[in-house]
Each structure stands twice: as structure tokens, then as C-alpha cells.
Amino acid sequence: MTAVTIELNGVKIADDVEPRQTLADFLRDRCGLTATHLGCEHGACGACTVVMDGQATRSCLSLAVMCDGRAVQTLEGLRTDPVMEMLRHQFHEGHALQCGFCTPGMLIMARDILRRHSRPSVETVRHELSGQICRCTGYANIVKAIVATGQQIASVATSEE
């Protein structure tokens, strides 16, 4: 076992982990944070996407021991994030989800896209989502929801000026 200290959703936690335990398994099994879904366990589907030190990261490809001293946010830790609130609203209103399995990772990736691209185009969103797999929706409504959120953020910023 290896001792790690991780700032998880804004709270420092210390725990002992197996050297080969993935961050995804640590989050789900040890911390009870089940919004982090495991799909392919090879980093190809994006269902396990979390935020590590401010960047969207596949938690199935990261070992928990590699996260020692780092900040990790899961979907649970983004409940009150204003951008995430807008995204959840747009996903709901735009019917951008079906079974919901990909939704946590998709929302985290969508937030990351909006962090890097203030008002992304449809083409930009499609390109940026290329590593996220959804087997139900066909992506059209997901892309629309992310673009709409970008527009909403821009209009809020404009009205505050």
C-alpha cells in the first residue's frame, strides 16, 4: 500500500492505495463517488473523465498513486459550479442525454471545452468531443447544448459589462 493525499472535490483526503489501483476505481470504490463511470477502461470512451489540476483527464488511465498532492474534481464536486449548472440545464432542455451512462464524463468534457473556447462553434465542439463516446444520442443534441451554453455564458458576460 502507498499513502496518498489528494484534494478531492475541495477536501484534502489521505488514504492508502494499492500501487496499481486506478484513480477511477479509487473514486468509485474507496470514495463512493459513482458519477465517475467505467466504460472501456482503456481511455477511449471518456465515461471516466474527471478534472485533475484543472484539466479534463481520463481517470481509468491514471493511477491513484500518481494523484498524490494533486487536485481532483468529479461531477459530484461540480454541483454548484455556475458553468456546470448552465450545462445541466441545456442538456435537460435540449434532450442531450438518453441512457445517461456517458453524461457525467460528457458534462465534464463540455465544461472543459467551454473553459478553453469561450464561444465554440459546432465544428469546434464536434472536434473536441471526438474522444467521448455516446452510444445513444448521435451527439447532435449534445453539441447543441454545449454551443447554447457558450452563447449563454457570452450573453451573461455581456450583460454584466
For the chain, give every domain's residue range. Answer: 2-78, 82-160
9-31 pLDDT, tens digit each: 999 999 999 999 999 999 999 99
Which residue carries 435540449 as its cell? 94
End-to-end CA distance of the chain: 53
Parallel, antiparallel or unpaired: strands 49-52 and 71-73 = antiparallel
Grid cell listed for 55: 484539466
Distance CA(71)–CA(135), nearest Å, equals 30
The reported pTM is 0.93
DSSP one-letter code for 161: -
- Indicate if the pLDDT at residue 160 is higher than 90: no
Cα–Cα distances in Å, from 83 out to 31, 79, 115, 145? 25, 10, 9, 12
- Taking 80 as the threshold, does the pLDDT of residue 133 lie above it? yes
| 103 or 118, higher pLDDT | 103
At 161, the pLDDT band (50, 70, 90 cuts) reads: low
Class of domain 2-78 (CATH, top level): alpha beta
Cell of 38: 467505467
DSSP state of 80: T
Cα gap 128→4, rounded to integer Å: 32
DSSP-H helix ranges across the chain: 23-25, 82-93, 103-116, 122-128, 140-160
> What are the tens digits of pLDDT across the range 58-106?
999 999 999 999 999 999 999 999 999 999 999 999 999 999 999 999 9
Q: Which fold has domain 82-160?
A: DNA polymerase; domain 1 (1.10.150)
Cell numbers for 21? 489501483
Burial class (CB in 10 A: 0-12, 13-18, 19+), 110: buried
